[in-house]
Amino acid sequence: MKKLLILLCYVLVCVACGSDESKSSEQPKRLEESEQFQDDDKWAEAEDVPFEEYSLDGTNAEWVVTLDVESQSDGEIVVIHNTEEFESYVAGDYPPIDFAKKTLVLAYGMESNMNYPIKQGLKYLQERDYAMTIEMQSSLATLESIWYVAVVVDKLPVNSEVELKITRN
């Protein structure tokens, strides 16, 4: 009986966490259409902004962020224009970014059910306004988890604002 219970727990954890093997070989992807915001006028005319996903996987670096308790599930977003700013969000040996030509957009938050991001996109709304869309996959696990989404884009103006839109499945 005890062995059966342990086996059942193991299977539930495996199913809830899923497999990350397919993610490691994926090429950077771009959101072609923001289905969840098609009805909104500002999204109908918004342009996709090309980006490359930025990951610390496979390095000894890790994200170092402070979560505001009130906005944990809403997520936070930061637009990073230079190495000094970037180093306040990461520790360790990280993959280089040419901040003379590029900007990093970092979104992060905490989920109560191990939800994790599966799709992201960046839209140009107007003048210096952008929006990052993140689609979260639900999980049956009841553990809290911190998620991160980082993308590198061509240099954005320093006073650009990026709004965060999160949808959950």
User: Got the DSSP string for 24-60?
Assistant: HTPPP------GGGTTSHHHHSPEE---EE---TTSS
| Sequence-distant (≥ 6) Cβ neighbours of residue 4 within 8 angstroms | none
pLDDT band at 41 (very low <50, low <70, confident <90, very high): low
138 in a structural domain:
yes
Q: Rounded mean pLDDT of 108-119?
A: 77
Contact 94, 69 (CB under 8 A): no
What single-letter DSSP state applies at residue 113? T
Where on the phi/psi map is residue 18: left (φ > 0), alpha (ψ -120 to 50), or beta?
left
| Domain count for the chain | 1
Q: What is the pTM of this model?
A: 0.69
Residue 86 in domain: yes
Give the structural domain span for 81: 26-168
Average pLDDT over residues 56-70: 82
Q: Residue 36 falls within a domain, yes or no?
A: yes
